[in-house]
Amino acid sequence: MTTVVVQTHNLWGDTWAQERSAALGRLYCARPPDLLATQELRPWSRDVLDAAMPDHERVDDGFPGWQRQSNIWWRSDLFARVGHGAEDVGILDADARLFWVRLRRADGGGTLLMSTAHLSYAGTPIELASGVNQRVPQALRVIEELAKIAGEDEPVLFAVDINDIGVPLWTFGNGGYLDAFSALGRHCPPTHPVIPSGFAETVGTTKSPVASPPKAIDWIYFRGPVRPRVAEVIEYFHRGVSPSDHAAVVAAFSLDPQ
């Protein structure tokens, strides 16, 4: 039985990029996971992660979403890439997709499917105008696409910034997926926003004066022959600066659990 450490992290795009680059690099030098999925990736943060995790590989593909939305890293001594893809599931952002990679295990245990997505923010013009939640149909599309991609009895891991606290979470649960915290009989601590961040902060947004409440919106879901052992929301600062406005979420999973 093999145990792997899986992490998901929304990297906050280009916001305060220069000021928090060192914190991001230090985090991944100190705590490099076996598998990492990212959201709000940019070329600079991709390069920081490459430098911090020299024993890892990632998807190298010409589609712009792999550079400016999401990517997936894996430890090269544990896994080898078999294939990868980016599926349109209706996410309302340029080049946003369901990103996935199929990895062959070095221990001879077959393959697993690692995937990630960043569901649409509630403040998109379509949602503001219609008042209709856009993440529920996106969640249904993710479940549908993963069912097409995954092999029979293949472990599936899905890391997501779900941008919601209600129905989309239930949609994944009713679609056969469980998150690492629920599987361990726990509630997930808040993952956003990281407070204090180390930067000048304001209350409210351009859309409302109401502050964003602490909430759990970053998740690692799974299905198939895989079992979570521990799960954590990482609190990390370098010289008082947070790597992102989202905390990274990490879980250890046993593959082929008995």
> Region 238-249: what's the mean pLDDT?
97
pLDDT at 234 over 90: yes
In Å, how far are 40, 88, 138, 207 from 96, measured between CA atoms?
A: 10, 8, 11, 23
Residue 236 phi, psi (nearest 5): -145, 130
Residues 6+ apart with CB under 8 A from 95: 63, 64, 65, 68, 69
pLDDT at 257 over 80: no
Range of the domain at 155: 2-255
> Region 217-233: what's the mean pLDDT?
97
Residue appearing with tokens 């092999």? 151
pLDDT at 196 over 90: no
* Residue 253: closest CA among 224, 221, 223, 230: 230
Torsion of CA 164, 167, 170, 175, to 10 degrees: -110
How many structural domains does the chain have? 1
Residues 6+ apart with CB under 8 A from 156: 112, 113, 115, 146, 150, 177, 222, 223, 224, 226
Residue 196: give its domain's CATH number: 3.60.10.10
pLDDT for 202: 79
Which burial class, exposed, middle or buried, applies to 101 when counting CB atoms under 10 A from its CB (0-12, 13-18, 19+)? buried
How does residue 258 score in pLDDT terms, banded at 50, 70 and 90?
Answer: low
Note the pLDDT tens digit of each residue in 56-114: 999 999 999 999 999 999 999 999 999 999 999 999 999 999 999 999 999 999 999 99
Residue 224 contacts residue 156 (beta carbons within 8 Å): yes
Instruction: Report the amino acid identity of residue 77.
Output: D
Taking residue 175's Cβ as centre, other Cβ atoms within 10 Å add up to: 16
Three-point CA angle 120, 84, 143, nearest 5°:
45
Note the pLDDT tens digit of each residue in 6-53: 999 999 999 999 999 999 999 999 999 999 999 999 999 999 999 999
Residue appearing with tokens 């403040």? 123
